[in-house]
Amino acid sequence: MKKLSTKQLVTLGLLASIVLIMSTTPLGTLPIGPLSITLNMVPIAIAAVAVGPVGGCIIGAVFGMFSFLQAIGIGVPSGLGMLTFSISPFLTFVQRVVSRALTGYLLGLIFKGVKKVSNSVVGFFVTGFCAAILNFVFFMGLLVLCFGSNADVANIWAGKTVMAYLVATFMSNTIFEIIVTTLLTGLVCLGLYKAKLLNAQQ
C-alpha cells in the first residue's frame, strides 16, 4: 500500500473532525418535513475522492465507530442500535462499522473507475450517488440479514413484509438522501477541485 502523504493525512484528519461534529450534533441530519436525511456519507465520499479507497475506508470506519457508540448510549442514542446491541454486540459492530468502512473503500474504487472512463467531475457526483445507495444496501441489508429473525426487530416492519418495509424506507428517506448526498459531494468536490485544494486522486 502506498504511504499516505502529509496532505492526505491532514485531509483525513479534517474529515474525521467533520464526522465527529456531524455525528454528535444535529448538524449531521437535514430535516425535510417529517424526514431526517443523514449527511454523514458526504465526508466519506469526499475522502474516497481525495485520498482513494484507503481514505474512504478510514473515514467510513470513523463514522461507523460513532454510529456504534450510539448503540451503547454514547453521543446521540440510537434506539435501534441499542436493540440490536442487546441481541449481538458483534453483529451490531459489523452492521455499523464494518459496513461503513467497506462502503468507503468501494467508493474509492468507484471514483477511480468512473474517472478512467469519464472525468473527475462526473466521478464526484457518481461517488456521492453511490455513497447513499451503498449505505442503504449495507445498513438495511445487514439489519435484515443479521437481525430480521428476531421478534423485537421484526416489530419494526409494522406488519409489512420485509421487502415492503425496505421499499417504503427507500421511497421515504433514501431517495432524498441520494439527492442531497449526490449534490453536496459533487459540488463540494468540484469547488475544492477548481480551487486546486483537491487533487482528485491518487
CB-neighbour burial class of residue 171 (10 A; exposed 0-12, middle 13-18, buried 19+): exposed
* Ranges of each domain in the chain: 6-194
Q: Which residues contact 5 (CB under 8 A, 6 or more apart)?
A: none
| pLDDT (tens digit per residue) in 82-128 | 999 999 999 999 999 999 999 999 999 999 999 999 889 999 999 99
pLDDT for 45 equals 97
Tell me the CATH class for 6-194. Answer: mainly alpha
Would you say residue 201 has pLDDT above 80?
Answer: no
% residues pLDDT > 70 (the chain): 93
Residue pLDDT, tens place only, 118-150: 889 999 999 999 999 999 999 989 998 999 888
Residue 34 has pLDDT above 50, yes or no: no
- Sign of CA pseudo-dihedral 69, 72, 73, 74: negative
Per-residue pLDDT tens for 153-198?
A: 878 777 777 788 788 778 878 898 999 999 999 999 999 888 877 7
pTM of the predicted model as reported, rounded to 2 decimal places: 0.90
Alpha carbon distance 99, 111 (integer Å): 18
**pLDDT on residue 78:** 78
